[in-house]
Structure 1
Amino acid sequence: MKFGYRELCLEHDTGSRHPESPDRLRAIKRTLAETDHVEYVPANDLPRDAVHGIHDDEYLRDVRQFCANGGGNWDADTVAVEATWDAAMASAALATWAAREALDGADGADTPFALGRPPGHHAVEDDAMGFCFLNNAAVAAEHALDREDVENVAILDFDVHHGNGTQDIFYDRSDVYYASFHEEGLYPGTGDVGETGVDAGRGRTLNVPFPSGSGDADYLAVYEEVIAPEFEAYDPDLLIVSAGFDAHENDPISRMLVSTGGYGVLAERLRTLTDRIDAGLAFVLEGGYGLETLSSGVREIQEVLNGTEPATIDAEPTDGGRNVLESLIYQGFGSR
């Protein structure tokens, strides 16, 4: 794969006890060093219109000044230092690079994956939260939509936390379809199946709040019966994956049971879908706080998209997974 990466993202120093640390990127790079066909691209072109099309101008000025003044705690979880503004801009630039690469035909072993931090999917239009300052996936989607050859974009978020920021930003728009797998009841407490969009965006938000203990079979059942049919009917020009790995069975902050192999299977299904509908496929890093589980998940996706056969998932969905699936079908999803 091609990985967007800049050392500048390491300078966002959250402190020794914060789970979203520079060690996350270091661990990914160490693990990828053990594999073949890895290319790093120091993308740094961030279109101004993409950021300002997503985030409020006053908010952007406030964050920039907050960092220039030395940073501190924006809120209880979201920490900044002087370098955070530049790191956040670099992370957003990597996401827009991934979108461009995918739209320009990079696929298979060249599929782009933006390895930026701070992550983005909790950042709303006018506020930072949940470790996030700029909504990288949303900025990438907005950048893609500025192209004449792009009519619509889909985003699949498989971070264990609901991407409230991405949902909020596109909740009343029809040109972005946002779907989220997440653990029910975790921060930030949003993402109910009844949250489906408003106005022009009605039916363009799809939330899958799995109960704790859900795993590979649950994710794949909902993907095959709901997500894939929805995305195929929507026919996006680009699919952006908000790739968080904190639903892993060994991640320290969640209670989900997704395996390393499960991430590879999901990546293979996404590649098959985007090939079928002739859409670009781009990955943007979100969460994942066990260094080994995070890096092994990224490597699994890299190896599968480089041609390694994915794992076989033989398990049946849990009762909780079936209940979520039935709720989505009752809402009318998956039957378009």
Structure 2
Amino acid sequence: MKVIYSHSFYPVYTSDPAAVAGRIEAVMNALPAGTKLIEAEPATEAQIALAHTMEHIRFVRQEGLYDIAALAAGGAMQAARLGLEAPTFGAIRPPGHHASGDSCWGFCYFNNMAVALLTLKDEGLIETATILDFDLHYGDGNVNILDHRSWMSISNPAGRTRDRYLQEVETFIEANPADIIGISAGFDHHINDWGGLLLTQDYHTMGRMVINSARKNNAGCFAILEGGYNHKIIGLNAAALIEGLSS
């Protein structure tokens, strides 16, 4: 499995929980053996502008967060591009699924998933795309930027039990084949994180669902880090997803 990362994601860049010290290190330290690391490269302003207004881009610059947010968006784009050939994971931050076209909240600045998929679409590399967003929090930014596009399908599972949640994911994945499946991988729905629902093995199960669908439909797949705030288990959960995608 290829993993997009950068030591530039390690330093604290603001005061929110996604930016605290040690969070990315917890993911990187738990990566499965044989992982190939690839250095993230920043998205260009033109690529970011596929998803965001210039006013929003200026706002992020004024906040002093443009460089780290552009690096995360670029890392997501690399993960998506490489994901067309083999499953890829982006160990990136800031997260992005709460960033809409002209606004942001929830520890997000640029919508990493939207920049990645819109770039692939703009380059003619994909015709259709599916997003599985299993973060605890509804990915309103993904929906704002992408859901109205005829070539896009998005799921934010809402099952209140593990079995119902996983069944909802499986039903969605099977019903929405596409050229690429992107996972907004927030691990805060874990039993020992804010959501208190899923087990570590469930991330492996969802990864396996995605790769099975991708293989069946000759499609690509990739995942990028969103939420997840318990450093004791976020790495284990990310590793479980990666192993599921590699199964």
Q: Give the TM-score range, shorter chain.
A: over 0.9
1:64 corresponds to: 61
CA 1:12 to 1:175, structure 2 compared with 1: closer, same or farther past 3 Å? farther
Structure number with greater CO (CA < 8 Å, separation at least 6) is 2
Contact 1:274 1:280 in 2 (8 A): yes
2:242 corresponds to: 302
1:12 shift after superposition: 4.3
In 1, distance between residues paired with 2:223 and 2:216? 18
Contact 1:12 1:118 in 2 (8 A): no
Please tell me the residue identity of whatever aligns with 1:133. Answer: Y
Greater mean deviation of Cα atoms: 168-177 or 263-272: 168-177
| TM-score normalised according to structure 2 size | 0.94
1:260 corresponds to: 200
1:230 corresponds to: 175
2:221 corresponds to: 281
Cα RMSD between the aligned structures?
A: 1.6
1:332 corresponds to: none
1:242 corresponds to: 184
1:263 shift after superposition: 0.6
1:24 corresponds to: 23
Please tell me the residue identity of whatever aligns with 2:164. Answer: D
| TM-score normalised according to structure 1 size | 0.70
What secondary structure does 1:239 align onto?
strand
In 2, distance between residues paired with 1:269 and 1:127? 33
Q: Deviations over 1:251-290 (max 9, x none)?
A: 1x223x2110111011011100010011100111100011
Selected match of 1:50 from 32, 47, 50? 47
Contact 2:40 2:72 in 1 (8 A): no
CA 1:221 to 1:305, structure 2 compared with 1: closer, same or farther past 3 Å? closer
Contact 1:8 1:86 in 2 (8 A): no
Aligned pairs for 1:1-336 (under 5 A) are 1-15=1-15, 18-20=16-18, 21-32=20-31, 35-67=32-64, 84-103=65-84, 105=85, 107=86, 111-181=87-157, 209-211=158-160, 214-215=161-162, 217-224=163-170, 226-232=171-177, 236-251=178-193, 253-255=194-196, 257-307=197-247
In 2, distance between residues paired with 1:303 and 1:238? 19
In 2, distance between residues paired with 1:291 and 1:43? 22
In 1, distance between residues paired with 2:14 and 2:3? 23
Contact 2:206 2:244 in 1 (8 A): no
In 1, distance between residues paired with 2:12 and 2:122? 29
In 2, distance between residues paired with 1:8 and 1:135? 18
Structure 2 gaps, min length 5: none
1:230 shift after superposition: 2.2
In 1, distance between residues paired with 2:143 and 2:90? 20
CA 1:306 to 1:239, structure 2 compared with 1: closer, same or farther past 3 Å? closer
What secondary structure does 2:148 align onto?
coil
What secondary structure does 2:210 align onto?
helix
1:49 shift after superposition: 3.0
CA 1:55 to 1:22, structure 2 compared with 1: closer, same or farther past 3 Å? farther
Please tell me the residue identity of whatever aligns with 2:111. Answer: N
Please tell me the residue identity of whatever aligns with 1:210. Answer: G
Structure 1 or 2, whichever has the larger Rg, is: 1
What secondary structure does 1:11 align onto?
coil
In 2, distance between residues paired with 1:153 and 1:7? 30
1:47 shift after superposition: 4.1
Please tell me the residue identity of whatever aligns with 1:243. Answer: A
In 1, distance between residues paired with 2:233 and 2:70? 26
Contact 1:24 1:291 in 2 (8 A): yes
Q: Deviations over 1:58-116 (max 9, x none)?
A: 1101210221xxxxxxxxxxxxxxxx32111110000000111012x1x2xxx210111
Q: Percent identity?
A: 31
In 2, distance between residues paired with 1:223 and 1:8? 33
In 2, distance between residues paired with 1:270 and 1:51? 27
**Misfit runs of 4+, over 4 Å:** none
